[in-house]
Amino acid sequence: MFKISKINCINIGLPLIDTIHMSNVTMTKSNSIIIRIQNNYGEIGWGEAAASLSMTGESAPGMIAAINFITENITGKDIEDIEDIYKLIATSVYGNFAAKSAIEMALIDLLGINQKKSFYQLIGKKIRHELPIIWRISGSEKEIQNALEKRDEGFIAFKIKVGAQDLSYDLKRAENLRKKLGDGIQLTADANGGYCPKDAITFSKKSHSVGLDYFEQPVAGTDLYTMKHCNKISNIPISADEGIHTMHDLHKHYQMKAAEGGSLKLIKFGSITSLIQATKYMEEKKMHINISGKAGDSSISAAAIGNISMVLSKLDWYSNVSIQYLGDDIIKVPHQIINGKLKVTEGYGLGLTVDEEKLEYYKI
């Protein structure tokens, strides 16, 4: 058992190698909230969550306010196991799932360090050793050349960000990429909810013929009727991302046949316990599963996604991390992606050492 002694919250922006063009946002650098929690033994745990107004509606100042509020209420509390952490955070504040997920991540990391266990040992049983990572294709001038290089390195899954340009241009991009990359890879498109219903339906109709394997979030997360229509007329599965934040959302998509799979993120579900519960539901309903961070996340988030991915029995739409697009990272030995697979550093908790000088340097 340990006591929560001190919580720090740091707002950072990391450089990206290339600008990311999505339907609703253009990113030139990341924006993440980093959490540092110290216990009464002087041990330190780390957590991270992206500030994403387009995904969760939480801004960095709003997350900081929520974290300060939670900090006041949980400092001095005793933690014995993961159940204590879940109960403490789930009831700490209404909503604010990204803020809560960052604190939860740091507390689980700290629990692992304190109990000399890996993060994954605290949340489940290690089932998979290989963690294929999706390569994101987001509108850079060299996107085809980069994708070919990544395929040759060993990446087996690619996701094209669509919706920032004209519909026919995006369909052509998908067709070209399938031709160049060949049939042996998983190729998907993600509109991040950016198409109007008419364009979403047109894209869905043509998605199979241009060589896509599934199509993610064609319209806004709240428009389940158009999602259902897209899923009905498309010859490939429709995936939900922005539309799924809770078990209720997931159940509704399943019931309405509005999606056949989805992308799950900690910043949406607010806790690892809830996210794993969602994957069990999806597996039971034969839905496809992807676990994902947010564009621009550092190695802290990547380590958590890697550990969660290791314990899931189904992960047929693979995992997304962002460290491969970062110009710099904040941990001393950054995680590696080798042959398109994430290598998770073994150690207690998340098994990472944060470079606090860099953290200071990238502070916003």
Site residues for Mg ion per CB under 5 A: 190, 216, 241, 263
- Rounded to the nearest whole angstrom, what is the least distance from the CB of residue 251 to Mg ion in the complex? 20
Q: State which amino acid sits at residue 225.
A: Y
Nearer to Mg ion, 37 or 219 (CB): 219
- Rounded to the nearest whole angstrom, what is the least distance from the CB of residue 24 to Mg ion in the complex? 11
- Rounded to the nearest whole angstrom, what is the least distance from the CB of residue 290 to Mg ion in the complex? 8
Nearer to Mg ion, 109 or 216 (CB): 216
Alpha-carbon torsion, ordered 95, 97, 103, 108, to 10 deg: 120
- Rounded to the nearest whole angstrom, what is the least distance from the CB of residue 227 to Mg ion in the complex? 13
Nearer to Mg ion, 23 or 263 (CB): 263
In terms of C-beta density within 10 A (0-12 exposed, 13-18 middle, 19 or more buried), how is residue 81 classed? exposed
Q: State which amino acid sits at residue 195.
A: Y
Nearer to Mg ion, 202 or 320 (CB): 320
SS3 of residue 315 by DSSP: coil
C-alpha 260/C-alpha 246 separation (Å) is 16
- Rounded to the nearest whole angstrom, what is the least distance from the CB of residue 161 to Mg ion in the complex? 9
SS3 of residue 15 by DSSP: strand
C-alpha 238/C-alpha 48 separation (Å) is 29
- Rounded to the nearest whole angstrom, what is the least distance from the CB of residue 234 to Mg ion in the complex? 16
Nearer to Mg ion, 43 or 190 (CB): 190
Question: Which contiguous run of DSSP H or E holds residue 181?
Answer: helix 167-181
Nearer to Mg ion, 43 or 58 (CB): 58
User: 188 - beta bridge partners?
Assistant: 159, 214
**How far is CA 199 from each of CA 135, 218, 253, 298, 340, rounded to the nearest angstrom?**
25, 9, 20, 34, 32
- Rounded to the nearest whole angstrom, what is the least distance from the CB of residue 217 to Mg ion in the complex? 6
Nearer to Mg ion, 58 or 216 (CB): 216
Nearer to Mg ion, 40 or 54 (CB): 54
Pick the closest to residue 261 from 232, 233, 289 (CA basis): 289
Q: Can you say whether residue 194 is alpha, beta or left, with left for phi > 0 and alpha for psi between -120 and 50 degrees?
A: alpha
Q: What is the CA radius of gyration of the chain?
A: 20
- Rounded to the nearest whole angstrom, what is the least distance from the CB of residue 263 to Mg ion in the complex? 5
The 10 Å CB-count burial string (b at 16+, else e) for 255-286 is eeebbbbbbbbbbbbbbbbbbbebbeebbeee
Which residue's C-beta sits nearest to Mg ion? 241
- The angle that helices 143-153 and 167-181 make with each other, rounded to 10 degrees, is 30
Nearer to Mg ion, 47 or 261 (CB): 261
- Rounded to the nearest whole angstrom, what is the least distance from the CB of residue 8 to Mg ion in the complex? 30
